Structure formats: C-alpha cells, structure tokens
Structure 1
Amino acid sequence: MDAVDVELQLGSPSDERTKAEKVRVIACGAIAREVLAIRNANGLDHIDLLCLPAIWHAHPEKIAPGVEKAVEEARAAGFERVFVGYADCGTGGLLDKVCERLGVERIAGPHCYSFFAGNEAFAATEDDVTAFFLTDFLARQFRAFVIEPLGLDRYPQLKDMYFGNYTKLVYLSQVEDEGLQKKAQEAADYLGLAYEYRFTGYGDLGAELLRAR
C-alpha cells in the first residue's frame, strides 16, 4: 500500500456483490491503509477501493485529470456510485470542478492533514501557520515523498530555501506506533525543526466514508 507510482485496486471482502451495489471509492494511495482499516472495522463491504498514485501528493496538477479519468472508467465498468477519496489536495478548486461536472462527492476539507485532524479543529488552530505536517504515510515514506522529490538528497543546501520559514514539524498520527514516532522525530531533526506529536486517529475520514453509500 506504499507503492509510489502504481494504481491499486482493492476489492471489498464480499466480491460477489454486483458493481451496481458497490461504491467505487477513488482515493489517494497515501490514505489506502486508513480507508481499508475503516472499511474493515465498520463492515463497509460495499466499498470497492481504487487508489491513484500516492506520489501525486507532490504533483497536485495530476489529481483532477486523474480522478476524472478514473470516475469515467468506473462508470464504464458498471459502478453506479462513485466517491472521491481526496480533499482539495492542492488542486486549487480544479478537483471540485471535476466532481461537480461528473456529479460525484469528495472528502470535505483542503487536504488530508485537515480531515485527519478534523476539519473544524484544524481550521481553528492558529499556531500552525509555520508548521510542516506529517501523517503516518509521510512519516513512513519521508525520503520518497519529501527528500527525493525536493532534491534534498542531492542538494542539501535547499533545506533552508524550502523549510526556512517553518518552525516545527507536527506529526498527525493515525495509529499509535513508536516506530513511526521515531521516524517523524528523525524527520524533524533532519529539517532542523521542533517536533510535535498529535494523535488524531482517522479524524473525519470515517464519517466521510460512512456517507459513501
């Protein structure tokens, strides 16, 4: 589930259900673990999950056209109900235009940090203006999704350019895992930022998936 550049299609536990009865959830690969955990914990076996490449996290211009193609393919394959497992995620409103045109809904919020923290709580936090956020996925994949895309492995002097205005790294954790906490602390040390840990669980994601019916 941590693949960087492939699409993942994960059928539901009861694959005998017809596609018309299921909901195709088209989600960012960076939240695949969380979607599956919520699905399995709540018996949401009507959810059929398709994950688009998580590396689009670093290339948000690919999200809207990628989702549009995936929605059209899902409907052509017989899925009558489709839900988009993305927040705006840096698309600048383009994803909303796709969703409106195709008549599908998406996860509420500006990005995954917000819906994991809870959109209302995230919006009310004033001292996070200079915070750089990690989720479980990004703590696990910090090198592949932060260091390498930004070229910091080749040009470490760029750290100040990219992160000079940040004061802290905030790790929003979905599961309490000491190994991931250690990785997040190491990421903060690497960037020269203060470290803050917040356990969020799945935040608003569970409620969003519960309405994907």
Structure 2
Amino acid sequence: MTPDDILTRKGRAPEGRGKVLALACGALAREIGALIEANGWDHLDLACLPAILHNTPDAIPARVEEAVLRHRAAYARIFVVYADCGTGGRLRATCDRLGVEMIEGPHCYAFFEGTDSFLARAEDEFRAFYLTDFLTRQFEAFVIAPLGLDRHPELRDMYFGHYKKLVYQAQTDDAALTEKARACADRLGLAFERRFTGYGDLARALARA
C-alpha cells in the first residue's frame, strides 16, 4: 500500500471466506462506507485512490491497475467503483484486460442520478455545472483552487460565463450542506437547483457486487 492509497477496512468476513474489494475513487468513500454499514455488507472491503486524480484523469487507469495488482491476491473479487471519469474508455479497457468489473456510466454525476435519467436530461442540461455532497464539502480544494479563482476571482466569468445553473445532486438530506451548495452557486454567479438523488446506481451496483 502506497501513502496515497487509502485503505479502509470495512469487512469482517471470517478466515477462509472470500471477500470482495471495492476499489473506489476517494470522492465516494463516505457514500460507500455508509452503504456498507447500512446494508451489513460484512464481506465487502473498501480501498480508495485519491479523489484529486480526477484533475488528471489520464493517470486513473494506471493507478487503478497498480492497485488491482497489489490487492487482488487477498480477495476473491475486485469491483472498480469508477465510471469512465474522463479516461476516454481507457479505464474500461484496463479493467477488461485485468478481468475486473467496473461501474457503468460516464461519471459519478450520471450514476448518482441514475445513468438513464441523467442521459435523458443531458440535451437540456449541457449548461449545468454539477456538485455532489463531496464536491460541495471540498469546493475550495477541488474547484476554486485548481482554477486559480482564489487568486484571480476575476477569471470566474471566463470559466463559468457559459454555464446557466449549478445543480446540487444531494446524496443526503443535509440542510447545512444545501446552504453551502447554494453559496457555491452564488459564488459562481449561477442559478441554483437542488436535486435529491440519494446513492442512485452506486447502491445498485454495489449490491450486485
């Protein structure tokens, strides 16, 4: 395990019984942990790669492969909890070559909402900017700082001038988090919409895994 491979043990399966490893994006750690606890999935362990990899999606396939090879001897099965996430099909090709399954969909915004529902809205929402619970909590670190808006707020309209609204896909019913998401929309100069999605296809995919 490397320093930036965050391994959170959730399973409590007895010795000799095969376990499943969910190898996931760190942005999903809280949600997957909640699903494991709520459903009593004692056979399922969770290992997360750093969420910041989404800023360099070309690196995701190699990092996933490295983690699969490192952990696969200890598990009967590994399920990769990433969608395509900007890899242009390279992550799917890597998972197919390694013989491991991965979650369907283009990105987490789609599978939280339900990929079919998200794609059905896509033509009408091409000017929407999306936040999840994780991105709302980490707005400064994952949106503002990487775009340099903390240092150059005048660049906001260059980045977001073509967007129309911010859609907050809420995984949990948290009033404080909703207000934070609304403040994020105000900061970007966008209209605000809250859409309660729960865990969407993520819950169904993990249940099958």
TM-score range for the pair, normalised by the shorter chain length: over 0.9
Q: 1:14 to 1:189 in 2, by over 3 A?
A: same
In the superposition, the TM-score normalised over structure 1's length comes to: 0.92
Count of residues in correspondence between the two structures: 206
Shift of 1:59: 1.7
1:134-154: CA deviations, max 9, x gaps?
000001110010001111111
Contact persistence 2:83–2:102 (CA under 8 A): yes
Shift of 1:17: 4.1
| 2:100 equivalent in structure 1 | 104
Shift of 1:16: 3.9
Letter in 2 for 1:179: A
Identity %: 57
Q: 1:17 to 1:57 in 2, by over 3 A?
A: farther
State the alpha-carbon separation in 2 of the partners of residues 15 and 104 from structure 1: 21
Q: Counterparts in 2 of 1:1-213, with a 5 A limit? A: 6-14=4-12, 16-18=14-16, 21-76=18-73, 78-125=74-121, 126-212=123-209
Deviates more, 1:155-164 or 1:200-209: 155-164
Shift of 1:15: 5.4
In the superposition, the TM-score normalised over structure 2's length comes to: 0.94
Instruction: Kindly report structure 1 stretches of 4+ aligned residues shifted beyond 2 Å.
Output: 15-18
Shift of 1:27: 0.1
The structure, 1 or 2, with the larger RCO (C-alpha pairs under 8 Å, 6+ apart) is 1
Gaps of 5+ in 1: none
RMSD: 1.4
Which of the pair is proportionally richer in helix?
A: 2
Gaps of 5+ in 2: none
State the alpha-carbon separation in 1 of the partners of residues 42 and 134 from structure 2: 24
1:63-92: CA deviations, max 9, x gaps?
11110100010124x223110010001111
